[in-house]
Amino acid sequence: QVQPVESGGGSVQSGGSLRLSCTLRGFTYNRYCIGWFRQFPGKEREGVATIEDDGDTLYADNVQGRFFISQDRAETKLFLEMNRLKTEDTAIYYCAASAATFCHPDHALFAGYYAFFGQGTQVTVSP
């Protein structure tokens, strides 16, 4: 059973930066798709960024160029560097792992593609 555990959320002013981390406990896949999602109050979870075992990445349009996903394969950790944060980035951020062997470009930014989600970490961006 894969258990993602997020950390690094918090409060920051608009224009600032935060770095989220995720430890993927029990994760033993060699080929995979993992990523970050976020959820706004009253909204469905939406994809932010994904990464494959070979380092290929996908980003949602509204974070492209501001957020950067990376991984430490040896430590089975996932990171999300968030820069130039906006108030509209305020959400709960989730780490996710898929049972798929790659991030399908048409599906990987949708929550249904993922079998495992963490408990989430709050990110609050103030004006």
pLDDT of residue 88: 97
What is the per-residue pLDDT across 25-77, written as a single tens digit (0 to 9) for each?
999 999 999 999 999 999 999 999 999 999 999 999 999 999 999 999 998 99
Hey, CA dihedral for 22, 23, 29, 31, is it positive or negative?
positive
**What values do phi and psi take at 36, rounded to 5?**
-120, 140
* Helix (H/G/I), strand (E/B), else coil: 76: coil
- What is the token pair recorded at 54? 């070979």
**What values do phi and psi take at 79, rounded to 5?**
-130, 155
What is the per-residue pLDDT across 69-126, written as a single tens digit (0 to 9) for each?
999 999 899 999 999 999 999 999 999 999 999 999 999 999 999 999 999 999 999 9
